[in-house]
Amino acid sequence: MSKTRFPLRAALAGTAAVVTLAAPAMAAEELNALIWCDHADADLLKPFEDAHDVRVNTKEYEGTAAGLAILDQSQPGDWDVMVIDAVDVGRAVERGVFAPLDPAEFPMGDYFPELTLDSHNSVDGTTYAVTEKFGYNTIAFNKAKVDEADMEDMGSLWSGKYDGKIAIYDYYLPVMGLVGLSQGVATKDLSAANLETLRDPLYKLKAASRQVSDVVASQTALATGEVDVLIGGGEWLTAVLHSENPDLDWTIPKQGALLWAQSIAVLKDSQNPDLAKEFVKYIVSPEGQARLATSSCYWGMPVNKKAGEVLDDSQKAVLRWDQQADYLSRAQLYPVPDADLDAEMQSMWTDMLQQ
């Protein structure tokens, strides 16, 4: 059987027409951003809009495939900037949707060195995105309900002590990465050959858990006392709840944690590439970084260290600003599976959910 690429774009042509009609009107003073929910915060966007006399139209998406599908269904030029999981920048570059960026135009010297992530943001020596925010997928918990010392060792999650009081964050990359760490498998070493070693502990973790839930459901479960421990959680989940319940906390256990990072890129077909680049510059500036770090949707560490001059002490305390050197030394980057390993990981995750 001959293999031909399925004309996905053509197949979605009808939808494209609808999306085109619904897409924000293009105008010189408008910027269209395909984003995660933290960028929809008016406090983040307004200073840029005021400074450049521009309106930033945003569309939120979840999951890289969904974001890329939106691009597929849009007319070239509909979108100017895109926020993307740092591990998936390469996927977007493969599709030829990002414009090259000159790293010299961005304050890379002010970045936490671990977060420039050239390995993720560059392909064949060309930079296509810059990291803008990071944090940890680790263990979040209610310290009024658990023994904090237990949270320093992932082994306690399998001990039976917290059975029925655990929730698992519903994203297989970080959680399987964490389970790998618990089994002594570094994220960079995760492969088809050793993936099966994760199956048994993953199933046992599911058996000990009450639920596997997305961001909002996880926050709700932790906030309402439905669960006391969230595997895969971190500052991004507990920080926005901190003022309501200071007992919600997180830590990095001795086995380590996963480092998540999000990047921002300019779309190759942007009608307004200069303004798009200005937006990226604003996002990675100290002021933009501080606002993004404390976005109403979720918090996360700024990649630009100079944001520390803008954040106040209480914000930095919630973000654990002073412990970052230690945390960064103990965190590992997400696994970056190729397509086949990705499929196997998702398949194992599905099997786990159906246990």
Partner 1 sequence: MSIEQAERRRASALVAPALLWTLAFFVLPFAGMVWLSLGHLEGREVVAGPGPENYVRIFTDPSFLKGIRVSLEITLVVTVISVVLAWPLAWIIAMRVPQRWQRLALMLAVLPFWTSYVVRSYSWALVLGANGVVMQALIGAGIIDEPVQIMATRTATVIGFVHFFVMLLTLTIYSNLVQLSPNYARAAADLGASGWQVIRLVILPLTLPGVMTGAFLTFVLCIGDYITPQILGGNNELTLPQLIMLQLGRRGDFPMASALSVVLMALVTLAYAASARWLKMDRV
Interaction site with partner 1 (CB under 8 A): 1, 3-8, 11, 14, 62-66, 68-69, 91, 94, 164, 170-173, 210-214, 216-217, 220-221, 224-226, 338-340, 342-343, 346-347, 349-351, 353-354
For partner 1, the closer CB: 214 or 322: 214
Q: How far apart, in whole angstroms, are the C-alpha atoms of residue 241 and residue 219?
A: 8
Length of the chain: 355
Quote the least distance from Cβ 347 to partner 1, whole Å: 8
Nearest to 269 by CA among 82, 63, 37: 82
For partner 1, the closer CB: 26 or 217: 217
How far CA 57 is from CA of 5, 34, 324, in Å, comes to: 33, 9, 33
Quote the least distance from Cβ 190 to partner 1, whole Å: 16
For partner 1, the closer CB: 55 or 161: 161
Count of CB atoms within 10 A of residue 11's CB?
11
Count of CB atoms within 10 A of residue 99's CB?
18
Residue 14 near residue 73 (C-beta atoms within 8 A): no
Q: How far apart, in whole angstroms, are the C-alpha atoms of residue 142 and residue 130?
A: 34
Q: How far apart, in whole angstroms, are the C-alpha atoms of residue 7 and residue 11?
A: 6
Quote the least distance from Cβ 8 to partner 1, whole Å: 5
Quote the least distance from Cβ 103 to partner 1, whole Å: 26
Residue 132 near residue 234 (C-beta atoms within 8 A): no
For partner 1, the closer CB: 62 or 326: 62
For partner 1, the closer CB: 87 or 275: 87
For partner 1, the closer CB: 6 or 113: 6
Quote the least distance from Cβ 166 to partner 1, whole Å: 11
Tell me the sheet residues that pair with 87: none
Q: What are 202's two structure tokens?
A: 């993953």
Quote the least distance from Cβ 169 to partner 1, whole Å: 11
Q: How far apart, in whole angstroms, are the C-alpha atoms of residue 55 and residue 226?
A: 41
For partner 1, the closer CB: 22 or 25: 22
Quote the least distance from Cβ 68 to partner 1, whole Å: 7
Residue 332 near residue 256 (C-beta atoms within 8 A): yes
